[in-house]
Structure 1
Amino acid sequence: MKGRKAQVRRRMIERLDNHPEPPPLARLLRGGRGGAVRTKLLLSILWVAAGEGHDVRFPARAFASLIDLPKPDTDGARRILDAYSWLENRKLIAVQSRPGLASKVTLLEESGSGADYSIPGAVLKAAGKDASVDTLNAHRYITLPPAFWTKGWISVLSGPAVAMLLVLAVEQGGGSAAKELWFSPGMAKRRYDLSEDTRSAGVRELADAGLVTILKRNLDPDPFAPRRLRNVYKLDLDQLERDAAVYPAR
């Protein structure tokens, strides 16, 4: 598991086909600290449940420890159980109680459709060059490296920072190579349904952590035109290989 990348469908992150409902990521985040717990928990389940059966049977305290919730054996575990309930009600997981044992948590498709989970990369590989547009749209994905968990980033980054890490990875096209990215507040709202506060706070935190570089670029290439600057962002996922302990938790 430690060497496994997490594949995350873009449908979880961005709104496609002009759908009126916010994408799952935007819905996950709403609700303050509870939103951050739900987001981190679902990503963690995606990471650990990619094997056969796509289920996990860990005690709630294990996930509470993974994302560094206070008092993981008690308060932290209760917050995980609350998040289980929320995720199950939104058709992102299915939970089977087992008296005396940890619940069996089965991953469903992260689009929120309620469909059985399948590994998106495997689906696209099986479809091959004959994959339809619908198949491509349903299963396009980004990857998060195992270092996101093993180096502690899952615990130190806030909900907005995690969300913007995912958004910038989508904008980057799923690769790890840093390139300049830009999107307007209107585009962020339209495609991702994230507030300006979430977007700006998340990007600022990623920059503080050394995961994103913010640069100023002139909108008009004419050297004689009035200078109009905009921010562009360079996400470097390779920086996740650093130990997150050097970054203060928020």
Structure 2
Amino acid sequence: MSPGERRSEALGYLRGAADRAKRRGYIPFPPAFVIAPEGEGGPPPLARLIQGGRGGKVRLRLYLCITMMATKEPFDLRRPPGPNGWTQMLGLDPRTGPRRVASNLTWLADNKLIDLQPQWGRPSAITLMSATGDGGVYTQPREEGRYVGMPVEFWTRGWLLQLSPTATALLFALRDALGGHSEPQYIHTAKRERYGLSSDTWTKGRKELEAQGLLTVKREPQGDFYDFTRLRNAYQLNLERLDDSPSWS
């Protein structure tokens, strides 16, 4: 099967998973998954997910899919895909995909983002745990007030498959940082640091999001009317772009 055929198959699985979960609108994620609390030095869970071998691609996509699919308390998947099923849903190479899926599910469990419960004769059940990675019980982000919402089209139109882990992480970070603002916004350095993304990661992710038409970055003057010597980046997301397919590569 060619990469294009694997992608088409994966899109079918992703759309089917969203339909079965009755997902519409935005998939909510708690802010603590994306941004570290003020005064804490460690990176938030999202930044940890993209660290390590191959940029954390498989474990990030697994986690985002599990969160999209587990809709009702106790936020679990009693009949989840097996390693081969996840391989198809994520468009992975069938020769190496099952092993990568198994090792990354173990990573998510070891890092207390999910709990795996063995089941006789079928894949282990998966239960979401607190998105902070502290081992606590998962709670519906909407019930906690503010949340970071990602349109379901991120999954069903294939953006999950196309965007790199760095671009995906930056997209979530900008969703949190910009909130509901429609005008370009500056993000203060102190807040940027709380996302746990290096300058290199931020730059690479920014370029990719711009190339895909998801992000516009404008240079705006910093200071009062008489001080135009300093310019700073102002960010503006174009989430309507998610309604269409990405530029595949």
User: What TM-score bracket applies, with the shorter chain setting the length?
Assistant: 0.7 to 0.9
User: Is 1:62–2:85 an aligned residue pair?
Assistant: yes
CA contact (8 A) 1:164 1:199 kept: yes
Residue equivalent to 1:227:
229
**1:182 and 2:178 matched:** no
Q: Given residue 21 of structure 1, which amino acid in structure 2 is its aligned partner?
A: G
Is 1:248 equivalent to 2:248 in the alignment? yes
Output one character per residue of 1:109-135: Cα deviation in whole Å (capped at 9) or x when no partner. 1111211212121x24xxxxxxxxxxx
Displacement of 1:228: 2.2
Match of 1:211 among 194, 198, 214: 214
Distance (whole Å) between structure 2 residues aligned to residue 117 and residue 166 of structure 1: 19
Structure 2 counterpart of 1:158: 164
- TM-score, structure 2 as length reference: 0.83
CA separation of 1:182/1:32 partners in 2, compared to 1, >3 Å: closer, same or farther?
A: farther
Following TM superposition, by how much is the alpha carbon of 1:154 offset from its aligned partner in structure 2, in angstroms? 0.1
Please give the residue correspondences for 1:112-123 in structure 2 after superposition, counting only pairs within 5 Å: 112-121=133-142, 123=143
In structure 1, what is the equivalent of residue 65 of structure 2? 44
Distance 2:209 2:148 in 1: 18
**Runs of 4 or more consecutive aligned structure 1 residues displaced over 4 Å after TM superposition:** none
User: Of residues 127, 137, 146 in structure 1, which corresponds to 2:152?
Assistant: 146
| Letter of the structure 1 residue corresponding to residue 153 of structure 2 | A
Partner of 1:133: none
SS in 1 for 2:169: helix
Q: Which position in structure 1 is the counterpart of 2:125?
A: 104
Matched, 1:31 2:33: no
CA contact (8 A) 1:58 1:103 kept: no
Please report how far the alpha carbon of residue 226 of structure 1 lies from its aligned counterpart in structure 2 after TM superposition.
5.0
Give 1:36 shift. 2.2
Shift of 1:61: 2.7
- Does structure 2 conserve the Cα–Cα contact (< 8 Å) formed by 1:34 and 1:83? no
Contact residue 222 and residue 228 of structure 2 kept, 8 A: no
Partner of 2:201: 198
Which segment is superposed worse, 144-153 or 14-23? 14-23
SS of the aligned residue for 1:183 comes to: coil
Q: Retained in 2: the 8 A contact 1:109–1:117?
A: yes
**Secondary structure at the counterpart of residue 38 of structure 1:** helix
On the 8 A contact 1:211/1:236 being kept in 2, the answer is yes
Does the CA-based 8 Å contact 2:55-2:165 persist in structure 1? no
CA distance in 2, matches of 1:115, 1:171: 25
Aligned residues: 226
AA aligned to 2:111 is R
Structure 1, unmatched stretches of 5+, are: 125-135
The separation in 1 between residues aligned to 2:225 and 2:38, in whole angstroms, is 36
2:111 — aligned with what? 90
Q: Which of 30, 47, 71 is the matching residue for 1:9?
A: 30
Aligned partners of 1:204, 1:34: CA distance in 2, in Å?
17
- Contact 1:9-1:120 within 8 A present in 2 as well: yes
Distance 2:105 2:204 in 1: 27
The offset of 1:97, in angstroms, is 2.2
Unaligned regions of 5+ residues in structure 2, if any? 1-17
Structure 1 residues 82, 64: closer, same or farther in 2, change over 3 A? same
Are the equivalent residues in 1 in contact too, given 2:221–2:228 (CA < 8 A)? no
Equivalent-residue separation in structure 2 for 1:23 and 1:226 (angstroms): 35
Answer with 42-51 or 1-10: which moved more.
Answer: 1-10
